Amino acid sequence: MARNAHPEVTRNRILDAAQQLFITKGYEHTSIQNIVDELGDLSKGAIYHHFKSKEDILEELINRDNDVQDDFNESVMGRSDLTALEKFRILWHYSITAQDHVQIMRAAMPMLSDPVSFAANMRIWSKHLPERFLPLIEEGVKDGSIPTAYPREAAELLSLLPNYWLMPYFYPASLSEMEHRVRCLAAMLSAIGVPIFDDELIEMTTKGMMTFDRLPSAACGDSSPQRGEPRKGSQ
């Protein structure tokens, strides 16, 4: 049998087909055979040559999304015409509205029903993600846009509460209940000098969080572990 001259092309085709199916059918309702049928010209063996399991495909999709997120984050963080608070709002807006990102995170949500996967995500939300938020909050302390005496605690709140407490997958809520919950978070953060949520961002976050429910195709938004570690969470 001839070797595949372009393995990366084939790998990306598999990822693209799987992503579309995970979005339309839901991760739990998509099989490797569905991916074979979607591609039309590859066998199961060809897919298993590139990915050892369906879970492996999803993790690679999350990592691919991670790269896109990192590129966007770096482009915003490098701007000198914005305060840290303005940067934070741009990054939060992107994490809630970027459709490819949101759809992949929704597709990954059922994995959080697995205790091992949930524990791994809790480690990301409690350790890695705060380390990503902290430098931006500290920058805001320096430029005066985020006048908090609790930068580390704020980073932890922003990592844990949106990825767990705001998620209707864990805490079911109606639209009005979700808005009340987001406004509560906004009030808590403002009280410690982290006024990230204005009315526009409250409305956007409310609507965005309502997409992460317990439907089979639902999935969480953007946790941000260190590069190379699969992301399976929200903001």
The CB density around residue 149, as the number of other CB atoms within 10 Å, is 9
**Residues 24-75 pLDDT 10s:** 888 888 999 999 999 998 999 999 999 999 989 988 998 888 888 889 989 9
Which of 161 and 99 is assigned the larger pLDDT?
161
Check: CB of residue 226 under 8 Å from CB of residue 129.
Answer: no
Name the region of 2 (left: φ>0; alpha: ψ -120 to 50; beta: rest): beta
pTM of the model: 0.76
**Residues 108-160 pLDDT 10s:** 888 888 888 888 888 888 888 899 899 999 999 999 999 999 999 999 999 99
Alpha-carbon gap, residue 100 to 94, rounded angstroms = 11
* H or E segment to which residue 1 belongs: none
The CB density around residue 205, as the number of other CB atoms within 10 Å, is 26
Residue 110: the pLDDT is: 80
**Residues 157-186 pLDDT 10s:** 999 999 999 999 899 999 999 999 999 999
Closest CA to 227 of 79, 85, 65: 65
Task: Sort 110 into a burial class: Cβ within 10 Å, 0-12 / 13-18 / 19+.
Answer: buried
Check: CB of residue 156 under 8 Å from CB of residue 130.
Answer: yes
Alpha-carbon gap, residue 233 to 106, rounded angstroms = 9
Residue 106: the pLDDT is: 84
